[in-house]
Structure 1
Amino acid sequence: MDVVRLLSNHRVSDLDRAERWYGALVGRAADARPMEGLLEWHLSEGSGIQVWLEPEAAGSSGCTVTVRDLDDVAERLTAAGVEHDGVEQASSSRLLRLTDPDGNRVVLVD
C-alpha cells in the first residue's frame, strides 16, 4: 500500500460549534468545504482532519496527532478557551488529551 494522504474523520452534531472548536485547535479557519456538511483542515502535505455533520454518529471518532512544541500548543489552546487537563508524561512521549463538544477524542503527542 502506497499511502498518499490520511484524513482523520470526526462526526459531529453541530457543524458551527465544531468549526469554532476545531478552528481553535488548529489555529485557523477550515481550509476547505468540499461539500455541504463537511469541513476540512489540512495539517501537512499528507494529512488532515475532516469534520462531518452526522448527528447520529457524533462523538464516536478520535485521532492522535504528533506536533512540535506541545507546551506551546497547550498554552495556545488554553488562551483560545479549549479545555484540557494539561500535558501528561507517558512512557515514551508526552501527550495532551482533548475532547471536542460532541465527545470526539483528539490526542496531541510530541
Structure 2
Amino acid sequence: MSCSSLETSLPWYEKLFGTPPTQRPMDGLAEWHFADSTEVQLHENKANAGKSTLTIGVLPIEPEHKRLTEQGLKRGQSS
C-alpha cells in the first residue's frame, strides 16, 4: 500500500494490526508478516498515496471491532 508519509502513517497501521512492523528493510518501507505467505507492505510513495486497496477478513468480527474502537480507530461511512 502507498502512503504520503510513512512516519505519519505508521501509528495508524500499528493500531490496525495491533503490532509494530515486523521489519523496516529500507527507508520508506515497513512490513508486517502475519504467516508464512501473508504480509503487508506500507511504502512511502506520494504519487500513489490513497490509491491502494487492502481487504482484511476477520472472524469473528465483534471482538476485532471492539479492539479497533478501543484503539481510537473508527469505521468509515458504509457505501
Q: TM-score, normalised by structure 1?
A: 0.65
Identity of aligned residues (%): 31
* Distance apart, 1:85 and its partner CA: 4.7
CA distance in 1, matches of 2:46, 2:76: 27
Matching residue's letter, 1:23: E
Larger RCO of the pair (alpha carbons < 8 Å, separation 6+):
2
Q: Which runs of 5+ in 1 are unaligned?
A: 1-9, 89-110
Higher helix share: 2
Matching residue's letter, 1:30: P
Q: What RMSD in Å do the two structures reach over aligned CA positions?
A: 1.7
CA distance in 2, matches of 1:82, 1:49: 19
Of residues 44, 52, 61, the one that matches 1:53 is 44
Q: Does 1:16 align with 2:7?
A: yes
Matches within 5 A, 1:57-76: 57-76=48-67
Q: Which runs of 4+ in 1 moved over 3 A?
A: none
Matching residue's letter, 1:28: T
> How many residue pairs align between the two structures?
78
Q: Which runs of 5+ in 2 are unaligned?
A: none
TM-superposition CA deviations, 1:47-70 (whole Å, max 9, x none): 111000001110000121222321
Matching residue's letter, 2:60: D
